[in-house]
Amino acid sequence: MSEQAASTNAIDWQEISQGNEDILDIFTGLDNDMDNMSSELTAHEEDKKFGDWAFVTELLETFRLMNSSLNLKSVLEHVIDSAISVIQAERGLLALQNSKGQLEFKILRDSARNALVESDFKVSWSFLHQAIETKEIAYVEDALSEQNYLPSMSVQQLQLRSIICCPMLIKGELVGVIYADSSKPLIGRSKTKKQLFQLFADQAAVAIRNAQLYQKVKSSYDQLEKAHDNLIYAEKMAARGKMAARIGHELNNLLSGIYGNLELATKFLHDRESSAKVEERLRRVNAMIESMTRFSQGLMANSHMETKLVRTNLNALANEFLEFIKPVYKKMGATFSEDYDSNLPEVNVDRGQIQQVLYNLVTNAIQIRADTHITIKTRYCHEEGRVKISVSDTGPGIEKEKLKQIFVPLFTDKAEGHGFGLSICKEIAKKHGGSITVESELGQGSEFTVSLPEIKRTQEEHLVLKGADLVNETCQ
């Protein structure tokens, strides 16, 4: 055979060898395509017969029940129990993401709804991390035969086969994960089951978030309610403190009057010709003790001081008051004068309470300036039908800002004051159908005026007064 022929035969063998390799590649590709087609057909067959499966019915019922409760513990239990039941897992856990972005195991259960201990529940962390990072379901049918998971120590140690880890999402935000495993297949290769289970997990995330928000609101409400109860308790205690201060203020004033009169009575005892004065002082002490008795009886009746109204001429009442108060405060440097309206009609008042008002006003003025001059003035305002009695002093006066609050309980600028004197005066005036006002100028002094309604006269009384030309048309 020639060299040319031999060369031709060698080339033919090479072509034949290359052709065989191409044919093998074609058959290998066809084989792979057939495997993929088989998997697709299997998944398609599973999806095709999916309509007869109880999966959908149980999911719908689960959706309804998950949103029927706002108790977080109940919702978590229902979610994990339903997840285990729907995919027929042997055990499962539910973990939620905390404020630091860390997962916290909240509930671990088995298919019999028994609680499991976290230390006994070993999970495949590779699956958890995969689901969290991808925000998609991580699922494997047979972890022991999958090359991707064989290196995982947890899979090998636990001898896990079918594992699923599904993220719970709200608008792409991770709320938590549902983890379940079993020695049997869970959802198979069905894409529909996978999509529905993700839908279940997302609905669970909404139910859990609602329960968390409700728990937060309820906790805030409970704290608010507790704070409200504490505030009420504090107000009650404050009211008791105010009442105690008021009682102390009233009794202290009455006791001061009793002390002053007893001191004078003791001095008069050395003078045999002053027995009448001693009797008068003791009579006033007795009147004050009666006032204390009425006050205590009013407290026991859960009311303010009992009011005993009698027809009274304020000129006579003021004069009686000055006779009592002058000896007590003159030794402190205070001086007194009177300016009475002689045409004053009578008023219905509790004599002790009106004297209490006068005492509070005079005492306040002298406590601010011991050598002040006190003037007690009465006036009849015919047009208004009011009888007015005022106490003025030559003290430093009151700032305009303080005048707005001067009758408010507990308001005082005195170091040892209780802030009840003027508020009590206002209450007494109001109880008599009257009012109390104040005018003050810095450096000039202050004047407090109590206005009281006159007793309605009969027509005959009006004619007598008019005929005698005793009616004032103005009140100054």
> With the C-alpha atoms ordered 121, 122, 128, 129, is the resulting torsion angle positive or negative?
positive
Contact indicator for 295, 250 with CB cutoff of 8 Å: yes
pLDDT digits (tens, 9 = 90+) for 285-317: 777 776 666 655 555 444 445 678 899 999 999
Nearest Cα to Cα of residue 449 among 380, 368, 369, 347: 380
pLDDT digits (tens, 9 = 90+) for 52-96: 455 666 666 666 666 677 888 888 888 898 888 888 888 899 999
pLDDT digits (tens, 9 = 90+) for 369-391: 989 999 999 999 988 899 999 99
| Coil, strand or helix at 327 | helix
Tell me how far CA of residue 14 lies from CA of 20, 21, 23, 410, in angstroms.
Answer: 10, 11, 14, 117
Amino acid 472: pLDDT: 47
Residue range 109-127: average pLDDT?
A: 81
The better pLDDT of the pair 319, 247 is held by 319
| Coil, strand or helix at 124 | coil
Please provide the distance, in angstroms rounded to a whole number, between the alpha carbons at the two ends of the chain.
Answer: 159
Cα-based torsion angle of the residue sequence 334, 351, 306, 452 in order, rounded to the nearest 10 degrees? -90
Structure tokens that stand for 95 in this block: 């973990």
Residue range 402-429: average pLDDT?
A: 73
Residue range 407-421: average pLDDT?
A: 63
**How far is Cα 248 from Cα 448, in angstroms, rounded to an integer?**
23
Amino acid 58: pLDDT: 66
**How far is Cα 27 from Cα 310, in angstroms, rounded to an integer?**
127
Contact indicator for 409, 242 with CB cutoff of 8 Å: yes
The CATH superfamily assigned to 52-218 is GAF domain (3.30.450.40)
Locate the domains of the chain by residue range.
Answer: 3-51, 52-218, 307-467
What dotted CATH number matches 307-467?
A: 3.30.565.10
Write out 55-73 in H/E/C secondary structure: HHHHHHHHHHHHCCCCCHH
Work out the mean pLDDT of the chain and round it to a whole number. 75
pLDDT digits (tens, 9 = 90+) for 121-148: 777 777 788 888 899 988 888 776 665 5
Report DSSP letters for 372-431, one per residue.
-EEEEEEEEETTTTEEEEEEE--S----HHHHTTTTSTT---STT--S-HHHHHHHHHHH
